[in-house]
Chains A and B, each alone.
Chain A
Amino acid sequence: MDYILSILVFFPAIAALLGFVIDKDSARVYGITVAAIEFFLSLWLWFSFDGSNAGMQFVELIPVIPDFGVNYYLGVDGISLFIILMTTMMTLIGIMSLSVKENVKNMIITLLFLEMTMVGVFVSLDAIIFYLFWELSLVPMLYIIGAWGGSLRVYAAVKFFLYTFAGSLIMLVGMLFMAYTYQSLTGVWSFALTDWYALVLPVSYQMWLFAAFFIGFAIKVPMFPFHTWLPYAHGQAPTIGSVILAAVLLKMGTYGFVRFSLPLFPDAAVIWITPIAVLSIIMIIYTAMVAYAQKDMKQVIAYSSVSHMGIVMLGIFAMNAEGIGGSVFQMLSHGIVSGALFMLVGVIYDRRHTKMMDEFGGIAAVMPKYAVIFGIMLVASVGLPLTIGFVGEFLVLIGFYQVSPIMTILAGTSIIIGSVYMLSLFKKSFFGPVTKEENRNLKDLDAKETWSLVPLVAIVVWLGIYPKPILDPIDNSVKAMLNFMDEKAITQEAKDMIHVAKSTKEAK
Chain B
Amino acid sequence: MLEPINVSLESLNLITLAPMLIAIAGGLIILCIDLFKDGLHKSLYVMLTVLVLLIDLGSVIGLNLNERGFFDVILIDGISIVSQVLIIVGSIVFIPLALSSKRFHEYSYPEFFALFLFMVAGFQFMVASDNLILIFVGLETASLALYTLIALHNRSNSYEAAVKYFTMGALAAGFFAMGSAMIYALTGSIEIYKIAEVLGTRIGETDLMIAIFGGFILILVSLAFKLSLYPFHTWAPDVYEGASAALVGYMSVVPKIAAFVVAIRVFGMAIDLGIEPIRTTILVIAVLTMTLANIMALVQEDVKRMLAYSSISHAGFVMAALALDTTEANTSIFLYYALFMFTNLGAFAMLWISRHKMRRFNNRYDHPYEKFAGFIKIMPVGAVIMGLFMLSLAGVPPFSVFWGKIYVMQAAVNAGYIWLALVMGLNSVIAAYYYLKLVVYMFLKDPIKDVDTIYYNISRPLMVIIGFATVATLGAIFYIQPLVSYIYYMISASGY
Contacts of A67 in B (CB 8 A): 481, 484-485, 488
Render B261-277 as a binary contact track against A, CB cut-off 8 A, 1 for contact: 00000000000000000
A166 pairs with B433, CB closer than 8 A: no
Q: Taking the complex as formed, is A180 at the interface, i.e. its CB lies under 8 A from any CB of chain B?
A: yes
Q: Taking the complex as formed, is B428 at the interface, i.e. its CB lies under 8 A from any CB of chain A?
A: yes
- If A67-B485, A67-B488, A176-B406 touch, whether A136 touches B440 (CB-CB below 8 Å) is no
- If A64-B477, A139-B391 touch, whether A172 touches B425 (CB-CB below 8 Å) is yes
Contact of B444 among A65, A131, A146, A179 (CB under 8 A): A146
A135 to B440, CA, bound (A): 18
Contacts of B439 in A (CB 8 A): 142
Contact of A162 among B396, B409, B433 (CB under 8 A): B433
Q: Taking the complex as formed, is B306 at the interface, i.e. its CB lies under 8 A from any CB of chain A?
A: no
Contacts of A136 in B (CB 8 A): 396-398
A71 to B494, CA, bound (A): 29
Closest residue of B by beta carbon distance from A212:
B422
Q: How far is the CB of B346 from chain A (nearest CB, A)?
A: 17
A158 pairs with B433, CB closer than 8 A: yes
B422 pairs with A170, CB closer than 8 A: yes
A153 pairs with B444, CB closer than 8 A: yes
Q: Taking the complex as formed, is A366 at the interface, i.e. its CB lies under 8 A from any CB of chain B?
A: no
Q: How far is the CB of B421 from chain A (nearest CB, A)?
A: 5
Q: Taking the complex as formed, is B414 at the interface, i.e. its CB lies under 8 A from any CB of chain A?
A: yes
B443 pairs with A146, CB closer than 8 A: yes
- If A165-B432, A173-B421 touch, whether A157 touches B444 (CB-CB below 8 Å) is yes
A147 to B374, CA, bound (A): 11
Q: Taking the complex as formed, is A279 at the interface, i.e. its CB lies under 8 A from any CB of chain B?
A: no
Q: How far is the CB of B407 from chain A (nearest CB, A)?
A: 8
A142 to B425, CA, bound (A): 20
B443 pairs with A143, CB closer than 8 A: yes
Contacts of A166 in B (CB 8 A): 426, 429
A131 pairs with B418, CB closer than 8 A: no
Q: How many cross-chain pairs have Cβ atoms below 8 Å apart between A and B?
A: 87
Residues of A437-480 whose CB lies within 8 A of B:
none
Render A376-410 as a binary contact track against B, CB cut-off 8 A, 1 for contact: 00000000000000000000000000000000000
A173 to B410, CA, bound (A): 8
Contacts of B44 in A (CB 8 A): none
Q: Taking the complex as formed, is B170 at the interface, i.e. its CB lies under 8 A from any CB of chain A?
A: no
Contacts of B413 in A (CB 8 A): 173, 176-177, 180
Contacts of B397 in A (CB 8 A): 128, 131-132, 135-136
Contacts of B410 in A (CB 8 A): 68, 176, 179-180
Closest residue of B by beta carbon distance from A63:
B481
B396 pairs with A139, CB closer than 8 A: yes
SS class of chain B's interface: helix, strand, loop or mixed? helix
Q: Taking the complex as formed, is A423 at the interface, i.e. its CB lies under 8 A from any CB of chain B?
A: no
Contacts of A154 in B (CB 8 A): 440, 444
Q: Taking the complex as formed, is B133 at the interface, i.e. its CB lies under 8 A from any CB of chain A?
A: no
A233 to B422, CA, bound (A): 27
Render A52-67 as a binary contact track against B, CB cut-off 8 A, 1 for contact: 0000000000001111
Closest residue of B by beta carbon distance from A166:
B429
- If A154-B444, A179-B410 touch, whether A169 touches B484 (CB-CB below 8 Å) is no
B432 pairs with A177, CB closer than 8 A: no
A172 pairs with B429, CB closer than 8 A: no
Q: How far is the CB of B483 from chain A (nearest CB, A)?
A: 10
B443 pairs with A173, CB closer than 8 A: no
Render B290-319 as a binary contact track against A, CB cut-off 8 A, 1 for contact: 000000000000000000000000000000
Q: Taking the complex as formed, is B480 at the interface, i.e. its CB lies under 8 A from any CB of chain A?
A: yes
Contacts of B477 in A (CB 8 A): 64-65
SS class of chain A's interface: helix, strand, loop or mixed? helix
Q: Taking the complex as formed, is B436 at the interface, i.e. its CB lies under 8 A from any CB of chain A?
A: yes
A227 to B443, CA, bound (A): 26
Residues of B429-456 whose CB lies within 8 A of A:
429, 432-433, 436, 439-440, 443-444
Q: Taking the complex as formed, is A431 at the interface, i.e. its CB lies under 8 A from any CB of chain B?
A: no
B481 pairs with A64, CB closer than 8 A: yes
Render A175-197 as a binary contact track against B, CB cut-off 8 A, 1 for contact: 01101100100000000000000
Contacts of B418 in A (CB 8 A): 173, 177
Q: Taking the complex as formed, is A349 at the interface, i.e. its CB lies under 8 A from any CB of chain B?
A: no
A176 to B433, CA, bound (A): 24
B443 pairs with A147, CB closer than 8 A: yes
A180 pairs with B414, CB closer than 8 A: yes
Contacts of B436 in A (CB 8 A): 142, 158, 161-162
Contacts of B443 in A (CB 8 A): 143, 146-147
A158 to B484, CA, bound (A): 34
Q: How far is the CB of A58 from chain B (nearest CB, A)?
A: 22
Residues of A139-164 whose CB lies within 8 A of B:
139, 142-143, 146-147, 153-154, 157-158, 161-162
Render A99-134 as a binary contact track against B, CB cut-off 8 A, 1 for contact: 000000000000000000000000000001001100
Contacts of A153 in B (CB 8 A): 444
Contacts of A158 in B (CB 8 A): 433, 436, 440
Closest residue of B by beta carbon distance from A64:
B477
Interface centre among B398, B426, B488 (most CB of A within 10 A): B398
Q: How far is the CB of B487 from chain A (nearest CB, A)?
A: 11
Contacts of A172 in B (CB 8 A): 406, 409, 425
B396 pairs with A169, CB closer than 8 A: no
A87 to B397, CA, bound (A): 22
Contacts of A132 in B (CB 8 A): 397-398
Closest residue of B by beta carbon distance from A134:
B397
A169 to B433, CA, bound (A): 14
Contact of B484 among A65, A142, A147 (CB under 8 A): A65
Contacts of A143 in B (CB 8 A): 443-444
A207 to B371, CA, bound (A): 49
A66 to B481, CA, bound (A): 7
Render B24-52 as a binary contact track against A, CB cut-off 8 A, 1 for contact: 00000000000000000000000000000
Q: How far is the CB of A152 from chain B (nearest CB, A)?
A: 12
Contacts of B425 in A (CB 8 A): 169-170, 172-173
A68 to B410, CA, bound (A): 10
A348 to B480, CA, bound (A): 50
Q: How far is the CB of B123 from chain A (nearest CB, A)?
A: 28
Contacts of A183 in B (CB 8 A): 414
Closest residue of B by beta carbon distance from A72:
B477
Render A285-325 as a binary contact track against B, CB cut-off 8 A, 1 for contact: 00000000000000000000000000000000000000000
Q: How far is the CB of B85 from chain A (nearest CB, A)?
A: 19
Residues of B145-178 whose CB lies within 8 A of A:
none
Q: How far is the CB of B113 from chain A (nearest CB, A)?
A: 38
Residues of A209-256 whose CB lies within 8 A of B:
none
Contacts of A177 in B (CB 8 A): 413, 418, 421
Closest residue of A by beta carbon distance from B478:
A64
Q: How far is the CB of B287 from chain A (nearest CB, A)?
A: 15
A64 to B488, CA, bound (A): 17
Contact of A161 among B407, B432, B485 (CB under 8 A): B432
B391 pairs with A165, CB closer than 8 A: no
Contacts of B414 in A (CB 8 A): 180, 183
Closest residue of B by beta carbon distance from A132:
B397
Closest residue of A by beta carbon distance from B396:
A135
A279 to B99, CA, bound (A): 60
Q: How far is the CB of A446 from chain B (nearest CB, A)?
A: 30
Q: How far is the CB of A385 from chain B (nearest CB, A)?
A: 44
Contacts of A157 in B (CB 8 A): 440, 444
B484 pairs with A176, CB closer than 8 A: no
New A-B contacts (15) at CB < 8 Å, excluding given A136-B397, A166-B426 = A64-B480, A65-B481, A128-B406, A135-B396, A138-B396, A143-B443, A147-B444, A157-B444, A158-B440, A166-B429, A170-B422, A172-B409, A172-B425, A176-B409, A177-B413
- Residue pairs across A and B with Cβ atoms less than 8 A apart, 7 shown, are A68-B480, A136-B396, A146-B443, A157-B444, A169-B425, A176-B413, A180-B410
User: Interface residues, chain B, CB within 8 Å of chain A?
Assistant: 391, 396-398, 406-407, 409-410, 413-414, 418, 421-422, 425-426, 428-429, 432-433, 436, 439-440, 443-444, 477, 480-481, 484-485, 488
Task: Name the 7 nearest CB pairs between A and B, nearest first.
Answer: A169-B425, A132-B397, A146-B444, A166-B429, A176-B413, A173-B421, A65-B481
